[in-house]
Structure 1
Amino acid sequence: MARSHWGEIKDPVHGYVYITEEEKEIIDSFPVQRLRRLRQLAGAEYVYPGANHTRFEHSVGVMYLAGRVTENPNISEHLSHEEAQMVKIAALLHDVGHGPFSHVFEHLLIKELDKTHEDITSWIIQKGELKDILCKAGYKPEDVGRLAVGTLHKPKKTFLDQIISSAVDVDKLDFIVRDTYHTGAEYGYIDVFRLIHALDILNGNLAVDLGALSALESLIIARIESFKSIYFHRVGRAAQIMLAIAMEKANEELGLTQFKTPEEYLAMDDYTVWTMLKNCKKSSGIIADLERRRLLKCAYERTFYEKDAMVSNIFSRETYRNQLQTDIAKEAHVETEAVIIDVPTVPSVPYHHSVLMESMEIPVFFKTQGDKKIPQRLSDISKIFETLKGFINILRIYTDEENREKVSSAASKILGKIPSATKISY
């Protein structure tokens, strides 16, 4: 297919995004158009009314930024024209595997099918409608499907995966700026294009020139602040937890994880599943509460800075959290399911992988006068990273309004009272 210019999409974050005929055909496919019916931040609208943007505009933005990366002379000299175009297409398709309510559906996929949305993304790209479109355009769907989730692993070209999935990838460069724009919770200016211009290849990997250190530090600070104030906001999380519980209660009756084909999976979006949950007796009560903003209440919150065994277990082991839930419920004399333990590492937390599960060590280098690249350890150059890591060890205990005081007292007795210096006013 000729890669001729088709037109442009006006994006509120990046301005005009020019697309080709080939890209338009992929954009107009059902899997990509479905992203218009998946909100980027399901639950956040209960805190930030403007946070009703979708995965569609995010995906277009990621495609645009991927194109800007491949135009960087440091990168383009290592790419063929076909590879550069495939990176853009993979970036466009990187989120097609998200389920209804995006990350909230993730816990159901993992619990029932031992799958993530990345697994579903590759499956959807390699089967059905997208497979036919990609083959017609001269791509191998298997390669695009792997690259879209950062697992192409092309020999001597690891950086291809890292453009889409790494500590400084185009996905994060878009969603941090886009999410702060739509929520209004902006945390300083992030010079996205300075970072893109500073990208280079170091030993086959994507790396950042330390000339852009201030831009890199701004990005990391924005990631952490956005995580605390948007993705792990106590009220937004209350709504997300309620959606997750509703889907879990209704799954057996509704068969949300019983899909066999990409088409069956893609039939589910925020609209269709909300209606299904509303009409299902097992989940209708929760949806009724969400419709009236009767949300779960945070009875206890604590940020841990120490790195002891108890803290490690709370954040990494579900069995430990289940025991803690049982102990608090017993102490409070409430039903076990009335106590909900929430930590940043659970699958339903938006972007928990991107902030918590990856190495914070980003490849960086400086150039000598002779243009030789000298690798550096970022933690040796910038102490800001180690300082910020502690801010994400947040534990919350949720319950309903009726049991809030009892659960708060029980949690304080078992976990210790919160020092007044660490209390946050909401």
Structure 2
Amino acid sequence: MNLQQIEKEKAMQANSKQEIASLKEEIKALNEQLMKNKKLQASPQEKNPLIFQDDIYGGITIDHPLIREIVQTHQFQRLKDIKKLGYTYQNIPKANYSRMEHSIGMYYLAGEYVKQLQRRQPELNITESDVLCVQIAALCYNLGHGPFSHTFDMFLDAIHEKNKSGKPWKNVSEASVKMFHYMLEDNEGLMASFEKHFDNPKEDIAFIKELIQGTGYEQRKDKKFLHKIVYNKKSGLDVCMIESTVRDAAVLGMNVTFRWKTFLNQVHVLRCDDGESHKCFSKDDLEICNDLFRTRHSLHRDLYYARKSRMAAIMIRRILVKSNEIPIIKDKSRRVTISQATKSMSGYTELTDSALNNIKLLVDDPEVQVLLKCLNTMKVIGQIGYVTPTDEWNEDKITQHIVQSIRSCDISNELIIDPTKHGYENWNALTQYYYTSDGRTGQWTHEWAQPPPSAAKQLRIFLVSGDKDLIKEVQGVLRELIRDEQLIPGDIYPDEENYNLMPQVPPLKKEEATELKEEVASALATV
């Protein structure tokens, strides 16, 4: 063997030693992670765990002391008094579960999700703190909801438009972060428990807030895939969507082909062509996932935006708006209005579905009291019809046309245009990564969450009135508008559907409305 061959052999041996050393380091890191996982499985547990008997998942056990402590706070227990589906239970009795049940379900699913990844892919270095953060974020995701859930969002939109003022938050997840922050401040000893169970509580709390809002990657930058478990803006398929869809489908007795346990077993975190690690689904599961979106679309049509459900939501919104000048919510030592309560988490904590009871006792507005009775006796507002908007004939223009066409009275406050949603509002922006059987990765774009042809947006028109003659007059205006401008599909509702109308609370005549507006303008000018 010549000198050149000897040097080559030594170089090969040196490379082999480096590879062996590198492998030893990887094995050491994997062993350390396995030890951490064992510690996670042996994490401190409550001697007397909380056990929730859930209609969907069976028994859900909460045995981590920190999770139990959160569940027992006033801020979380408040969710028992907020119906997830608003007043829908009046028409569909099984739709009576609370935001608390939904939150416990999200906690359970998120825990199963992240633990599956932790067990299958130890190289991801998912720690005990990571698991706990994801579980807490899922548990607290709904903290920001107000009375009757999304009906309260309608109230905030109406108040914002009426007062030309800024909303207290951009979305419910932002409100949930505010309530979570207040929970830490308001419960003595809770922050100490976070410090006990987290090595870096300040960073972990910031991470939990990021997970709830689904924005920002300041924490756990090497584990961005964790940000997409609780709330996923990119794909639309997250723990919140899965839990809501599966639970609400059960309300209607719908068959769901999506099997969440099988789905979670097939999720992998892989490095994709953008250089980032993403949660990837099996390419074979595209239709199963799309079927979940189709189920969600059916729920929008048959449950969330069922006409009777929307009429109840409209009535509640009107009750809340007309009662907003009266301080009915207790905020520590004072009483505040509903909108004022949203600016103080101590007041917002007291704001639940029970607000209607306070309104019944403290607000003497005749229409408010009539609407409250209608909710309990299942009387309805006037049903006018529906149209399909165009670029020229949008919601505002249709409203203006109908109001101006009614000569007998001013119906600007009674006419309601209610846009429907179908569950595919942002479908063209949704994407999802997948993997194939041979280990390649790709990205679904147009194939993912594709809406069916029936997912067209429509506007429903209602009138907060029990005056049959006025309802017919408004229907006549709408019928002509549909015919002349071809706002189809569109039609008026049949007479027999306006059979159990609310008592008449006549709107102001045109001249009375004008006088009132002038009085208000004059009063404001002197302030």
Give the shorter-chain TM-score range: 0.7 to 0.9
Query: 2:30 matched to which residue of 1?
Result: none
Structure 2 residue identity aligned to 1:147? L
Structure 2 residue identity aligned to 1:409? G
Taking every aligned residue pair, what percent have the same amino acid on both sides?
Answer: 20
- Work out the CA distance in 1 between the residues paired with 2:212 and 2:324: 28
2:283–2:434 contact (8 Å) kept in structure 1: yes
**C-alpha deviations, 1:23-53, integer Å up to 9, x for none?**
1111111111110000011121232122111
After alignment, is 71-80 or 226-235 more displaced? Answer: 71-80
2:81–2:98 contact (8 Å) kept in structure 1: yes
**C-alpha deviations, 1:398-422, integer Å up to 9, x for none?**
1134233222221232244676899
**Are 1:241 and 2:314 an aligned pair?**
yes
After alignment, is 161-170 or 74-83 more displaced? Answer: 74-83
**C-alpha deviations, 1:224-280, integer Å up to 9, x for none?**
110111111111000001111111111122311113432211011101x11122231
- Work out the CA distance in 2 between the residues paired with 1:420 and 1:341: 16
2:385–2:493 contact (8 Å) kept in structure 1: no
1:147–1:161 contact (8 Å) kept in structure 2: yes
With over 3 angstroms needed to count, the CA separation of the structure-2 counterparts of 1:196 and 1:131, relative to structure 1, is farther
Query: 1:337 matched to which residue of 2?
Result: 413
After alignment, is 158-167 or 324-333 more displaced? Answer: 324-333
Structure 1 residue identity aligned to 2:214? G
With over 3 angstroms needed to count, the CA separation of the structure-2 counterparts of 1:389 and 1:109, relative to structure 1, is farther
Q: CA RMSD in A?
A: 2.9
**What residue ranges of structure 1 are gaps of 5+ in the alignment?**
315-320, 346-351
Match of 1:176 among 245, 265, 275: 245
Q: Secondary structure at the match of 1:379?
A: coil
Query: 2:399 matched to which residue of 1?
Result: 325
After alignment, is 16-25 or 234-243 more displaced? Answer: 16-25
Q: CA deviation at 1:135?
A: 4.8
- Work out the CA distance in 2 between the residues paired with 1:62 and 1:42: 19
Query: 1:16 matched to which residue of 2?
Result: 59
Structure-2-length-normalised TM-score: 0.69
Q: Secondary structure at the match of 1:364?
A: strand
Q: Secondary structure at the match of 1:201?
A: strand
Match of 2:265 among 197, 200, 210: 197
- Work out the CA distance in 1 between the residues paired with 2:446 and 2:288: 16
- Work out the CA distance in 2 between the residues paired with 1:180 and 1:45: 14
Q: CA deviation at 1:367?
A: 2.0
Query: 2:142 matched to which residue of 1?
Result: 95
1:278–1:288 contact (8 Å) kept in structure 2: no
Determine which structure has greater relative contact order: mean sequence separation of CA pairs < 8 Å that are 6+ residues apart, divided by chain length: 1
With over 3 angstroms needed to count, the CA separation of the structure-2 counterparts of 1:365 and 1:145, relative to structure 1, is closer
**C-alpha deviations, 1:324-368, integer Å up to 9, x for none?**
2121122244512221101036xxxxxx8x642465533132324
Q: Secondary structure at the match of 2:268?
A: strand
- Work out the CA distance in 2 between the residues paired with 1:288 and 1:414: 34
1:10–1:16 contact (8 Å) kept in structure 2: yes
Query: 1:211 matched to which residue of 2?
Result: 284
Counterpart mapping for 1:60-209 below 5 A: 60-73=104-117, 77-78=123-124, 79-110=126-157, 111=160, 112-114=165-167, 115=169, 116-127=171-182, 128-129=185-186, 133-137=190-194, 138=198, 139-140=201-202, 141-153=205-217, 154=219, 155-166=221-232, 167-182=236-251, 184-202=252-270, 203-209=276-282
1:207–1:362 contact (8 Å) kept in structure 2: no
- Work out the CA distance in 1 between the residues paired with 2:493 and 2:454: 16
Structure 1 residue identity aligned to 2:305? F
With over 3 angstroms needed to count, the CA separation of the structure-2 counterparts of 1:386 and 1:66, relative to structure 1, is closer
- Work out the CA distance in 1 between the residues paired with 2:424 and 2:324: 29
Match of 1:287 among 364, 372, 376: 372
With over 3 angstroms needed to count, the CA separation of the structure-2 counterparts of 1:377 and 1:146, relative to structure 1, is closer
Q: Secondary structure at the match of 1:388?
A: coil
With over 3 angstroms needed to count, the CA separation of the structure-2 counterparts of 1:108 and 1:424, relative to structure 1, is closer
1:228–1:392 contact (8 Å) kept in structure 2: no
Query: 2:506 matched to which residue of 1?
Result: none
**C-alpha deviations, 1:363-396, integer Å up to 9, x for none?**
1323242x23x2132424x6xx444265141211
Structure 1 residue identity aligned to 2:302? S
**C-alpha deviations, 1:39-83, integer Å up to 9, x for none?**
011121232122111001100000000011102236664322211
Q: Secondary structure at the match of 2:374?
A: helix
With over 3 angstroms needed to count, the CA separation of the structure-2 counterparts of 1:286 and 1:77, relative to structure 1, is farther
Counterpart mapping for 1:39-58 below 5 A: 39-58=83-102
Query: 1:261 matched to which residue of 2?
Result: 344
Structure-1-length-normalised TM-score: 0.85
Q: CA deviation at 1:201?
A: 2.8
With over 3 angstroms needed to count, the CA separation of the structure-2 counterparts of 1:4 and 1:234, relative to structure 1, is same
Q: Secondary structure at the match of 1:9?
A: strand
Query: 1:413 matched to which residue of 2?
Result: 480
**C-alpha deviations, 1:121-145, integer Å up to 9, x for none?**
1111112336952552234333323
With over 3 angstroms needed to count, the CA separation of the structure-2 counterparts of 1:3 and 1:215, relative to structure 1, is farther
Q: Secondary structure at the match of 1:336?
A: coil
Q: Secondary structure at the match of 2:241?
A: helix
With over 3 angstroms needed to count, the CA separation of the structure-2 counterparts of 1:415 and 1:198, relative to structure 1, is farther
After alignment, is 99-108 or 395-404 more displaced? Answer: 395-404
Q: Secondary structure at the match of 1:99?
A: coil
**C-alpha deviations, 1:258-310, integer Å up to 9, x for none?**
13432211011101x11122231232222122122112233112456xxx523
After alignment, is 331-340 or 386-395 more displaced? Answer: 386-395
- Bigger radius of gyration, 1 or 2? 2
Query: 1:28 matched to which residue of 2?
Result: 72
**Are 1:221 and 2:298 an aligned pair?**
no
Structure 1 residue identity aligned to 2:357? T
- Work out the CA distance in 2 between the residues paired with 1:18 and 1:394: 43
Alignment length (residue pairs): 401
